[in-house]
Structure 1
Amino acid sequence: MEAIQDIFEFTTSNRTAITIGTFDGVHIGHRKILERLINNAKSTGTKSLVLTFFPHPRMVLQKDANIKLLNTLEEKEQILKEIGLDYLIVHPFTQKFSRLTALEFVRDVLANQLKVKNVVIGYDHRFGRNRNANINDLKLYGETYDFDVEEIPAQEISDVSVSSTKIRAALNEGDIETANSYLGYPYLLTGHIVKGKGIGKKMGFPTANLQIKEAYKLIPQNGVYIAQSELAGKTVYGMMNIGFNPTVSGTQQSIEIHFFGVDQDLYGQKLQLRLLKKIRNEKKFDSLEKLIAQLEQDKITSLAYLENGTP
C-alpha cells in the first residue's frame, strides 16, 4: 500500500475505485465497505483507494479539540495496509477545503485528480460545502464525469450495528472485550518507552512506561489490563496499569506494563500494546505491602486468563 499525505500529490495512470470517510477505528462496519471496495477494484481492473482526512473534521469545523480518536494516523495506516489497499490518502482537513462545493469536489478532486472510476460509499454519505450533497447527487455527477457509484445500503450497515461512538463508550467504561469485538482486533496503544520512577522494580514488578505523543488518542478507563506485545519478534504478555498510582501519591496519568518473563531494558524503544481484558479498577492501598499482594493476585489472574481464556 502506498500512503500519500495530500490529494494533490497523488499521481496515477490508472483509474481508481474510491471510498471516503474518517474510518476512525477501522472497525468491522468499516471493513464491509473496504472489502467491497477491494473486490470492486479487482473486478474492474482499477486501483483501490481510501480518502480520509486529518485533523478530524470535527476538530476543524466545530473546534472540538477534545475529541478522542480510536487510532493514531500511524495505527490507521498499519491496519489499512494489512487489509490490502493499493492507496491511502490522508488529506489535511482545513476550513478552505471544507468550503469546496460538491461540484468542485467531484470535478477537481475525484474526477481530475484521483481519476475515479468507481465510488463505494454508505447510503447516508454527505459531502460538499455544508455537507449539502448526498448520494443521489453523487450518482448524478457520476453520469457527467464517467464514474459509477456503488451504494452500501442501510440494511447492510445496520446488520453490523457498530459505530466508532459505541467503541469509544466501551473503552471509556473499560469494556475492552466489547470494544475489541466491534473493532475486529485488540485495541492498540502505540508509543515509546520512557524512564519512570523505578517504584515497580523495587516492588518486584518492573514496568515499562509507555508515552503516547498523540494527545487525541483515546486512553481507556483507568485500571489494570491484560495486554500483549511483540519484543524482538516474539509475542509477550503482561499486566498493564492505566492511572495515577494513588498508593505512591502519583499526580500524573501513566501507562505502565509489567511483562511476564521479560528481563531486558526497553527504554527508548517503540512499543505497541494490544489490550485484551480489564481485570480490575485502579485502587489506593493502605500500604505498599498490600499493593504488592494485589499485584501478585493480578499476575495469577492474568496468567489464568491467558492459559484458559477466562480470568
Structure 2
Amino acid sequence: MKIITDLSHYRKMEYPNLVLALGNFDGFHRGHQEIVRFVTDEARKIKGTAAVLTFKQHPRRVLAHGDAPTILTSMMHKLYLLHQASIELCFLLDFSAEFARTGADEFVRHVLMGSLGVKEVCLGFNAHFGNDRRGNAAFMKPYAAKGDFKFHEIKSVMVGSEVASSTLIRKVIQQGDLGKAQMLLGKPYSFFGEAVSGHGRGKMLGYPTANLDTHSETMPPEGIYAVWIRVIDCEMVESSAGWHDFRVNKTGKLLSGVMYYGKCPTFEKDGKPVPEVHILDYHDELKGALVEVTVGACIRGERTFTDQESLCEQIEKDVTIAKKWLDEHPIFRIS
C-alpha cells in the first residue's frame, strides 16, 4: 500500500480512475469494512485505484480541547487493517487547526477535485466534513449530478437494532461487553502495543510478562483476560518526498496468553493502569516488538492481595482458567 502524506507530491494523472473513501476508520468496524469493500470492488470494475483519505490525528482530538474520545485503533493498526483490506493508496493527512478551518465546498473543489482528481467518492451514511460540517451525502449529490465525479453513500450496518459505530464500540469495550464489541467489529477487539521493560514482577512471581506501550487508548475494565497475541512486523518506509510504502514484513504465529490490565494495587497505591501479557509456553524475547493483542474473555476483575503468596496462588488459577477458555474458543477471522 502506498501512503501519501503531502498532496503537493501527488500526480493525479498517474491515477485517472481514483475511487476514494473518506473517513477516520477508527476501529475499522463492520460499517468501515463495508465502505472499503465497496471501494475495492468498484475500483476493480473500472480498472481503477482503491484509495482512502484519512488523518493521522482523530479530528475531535484537535477540535475538542480536552473532551476528545479515546482511540480504538492507532495509526499503525489502522494502516495495517487498510493494507489487509486491499487498499492500494492511502492519503494520510495531518488534521491541524488550520486544516480544520477548511470549508466543505473548498475541500471538495480544491482537494477532491483539484489535487486528487477523484473519479468516484464514497462516504458513510452519517459522515460529515468541513469546518461547518456541511459536507455529507446531501452536500455531495449535486456535484455528482453535474458529472464532477460519481458519488456513493454507503448505508449503515445494523447489528440487531443498533448501528455499528466507533462511539458505540468504545462504550461497550469500556463497559467490558466484549461479545457485543465483537459483533459490532466483525471480529474480536484487538489493539497494538510495543513490548517494553517493566518492573520484572511477573518474572519474580514465576510468570514473566511483557509490558505494553499501547498505541490505542480504549481498554476494557481493569482485570485479567484470556488473550491471543502475535508479533506484527510492519513499517512505513519513505520512498520519495511525500510518499511512503507500508510494508508488512512478517506476521507472527498466533499465541495464547493472559493479560493483566491494572494498577498493580498489591504493590503500588497510585499506579497508572498498564496492560502486560504472559504468553503461555513461550520463552523468546519480546522487548521492542510490535504486538497485536486480541482480547478474548475476562477471567476476573482487579483485586488487591494481602501478600505475595496469595497473589501467586491466584495467578496460577487465572492461568489455568484462561488456558481452558482459550482451548475451548479457537479464534476466528483475524485479519
Give the TM-score normalised by structure 2: 0.84
Report whether the alignment pairs 1:68 with 2:87: no
| Distance in 1 of aligned mates of 2:61 and 2:26 | 14
Q: CA deviation at 1:84?
A: 0.6
Aligned to 2:256: 237
Please give the alpha-carbon distance, in whole angstroms, between the structure 1 residues aligned to 2:158 and 2:177. Answer: 23
The one-letter amino acid paired with 2:265 is P
SS of 1:130's equivalent?
Answer: coil
> 1:308 maps to what in 2?
328
Aligned length: 307
* Partner in structure 2 of residue 286 of structure 1: 306
- Residue matched to 2:7: 7
- CA positional deviation for 1:135: 2.1
Residue matched to 1:253: 273
Structure-1 residue corresponding to 2:181? 179
User: In the aligned structure 2, how far is the partner of 1:226 from the partner of 1:90?
Assistant: 34
The equivalent of 1:50 in structure 2 is: 52
Q: Does 1:147 align with 2:167?
A: no
Runs of 5+ consecutive residues of structure 1 not aligned to the other structure: none
Secondary structure class of the residue paired with 1:77: helix
Aligned match for 2:288, one of 260, 268, 278: 268
Cα deviation code 1:218-271 (max 9, x no counterpart): 232211111112259332111110001111235232221111111233333333
Please tell me whether the aligned partners of residues 6 and 92 of structure 1 are also in contact (alpha carbons under 8 angstroms). Answer: no
8 Å Cα contact 2:159-2:183 kept in structure 1: no
Amino acid at match of 2:306: D
The change in CA–CA distance for 1:254 and 1:153 in structure 2 (over 3 A counts) is closer
1:11 shift after superposition: 2.7
Deviation at 1:73, TM superposition (A): 0.2
CA distance, structure 2, for counterparts of residue 170 and residue 65 of structure 1: 19
> Secondary structure of the residue that 1:131 maps to in structure 2?
coil
User: For 1:27 and 1:300, how far apart are their aligned partners in 2?
Assistant: 32
Structure 2 vs 1, CA of residues 267 and 3 (structure 1 numbering), >3 Å: closer, same or farther? same
Code of the residue aligned with 2:94 in structure 1: it is P
Separation (CA, whole Å) in 2 of partners of 1:158 and 1:298: 32
> What is the distance in 1 between the residues matched to 2:196 and 2:155?
47
Q: Supply the distance in 1 between the matched residues of 2:68 and 2:140 (Cα, whole angstroms).
A: 32
Letter of the 1:188 counterpart: S
Greater share of helix: 1
Q: Which amino acid aligns with 2:314?
A: Q
Q: What per-residue deviation string (whole Å, max 9, x for no partner) do you get for residues 120-146 of structure 1? A: 223333333311243233121234462
With 195-204 and 229-238 compared, the bigger mean Cα shift is at 229-238
Give, in whole Å, the separation in 1 of the partners of 2:95 and 2:44: 29
**In the aligned structure 1, how far is the partner of 2:73 from the partner of 2:264?**
26
By how many angstroms is 1:69 displaced?
Answer: 0.6
Asked if the contact 1:172–1:221 (Cα under 8 Å) also holds between the matched residues in 2, the reply is yes
Seen in structure 2, the aligned counterparts of structure 1 residues 101 and 198 have a Cα distance that, compared at 3 Å, is closer
Change (3 A) 1:287 1:122: same
Q: What is the rounded CA distance, in whole Å, between the counterparts of 1:234 and 1:158 in structure 2?
A: 31
Give the Cα separation in 1 of the matches to 2:100 and 2:159.
28
Distance in 1 between residues matched to 2:191 and 2:282, nearest whole Å: 19
Question: For 2:212, what is the secondary structure of its paired residue?
Answer: strand
Q: CA RMSD in A?
A: 2.3
- In structure 2, stretches of 5+ residues that fail to align are 232-250, 331-335
Q: In terms of mean alpha carbon deviation, does 271-280 or 108-117 score higher? A: 271-280
C-alpha distance in 2 between matches for 1:208 and 1:129: 43
Residues 15-65 of structure 1, C-alpha deviation per residue, up to 9 Å, x if partnerless? Answer: 211111111101011111111111111112221111112321112222246
Larger RCO, structure (CA 8 Å, separation 6 or more): 2
Preserved contact between residue 20 and residue 120 of structure 2 (Cα < 8 Å)? yes
Q: Distance in 1 between matches of 2:125 and 2:252?
A: 42
In structure 1, distance between residues paired with 2:89 and 2:79 = 10
Q: How far, CA to CA, are the matches of 1:29 and 1:285 in structure 2? A: 43
The amino acid that maps onto 1:54 is: K
- Share of identical aligned residues, percent? 32
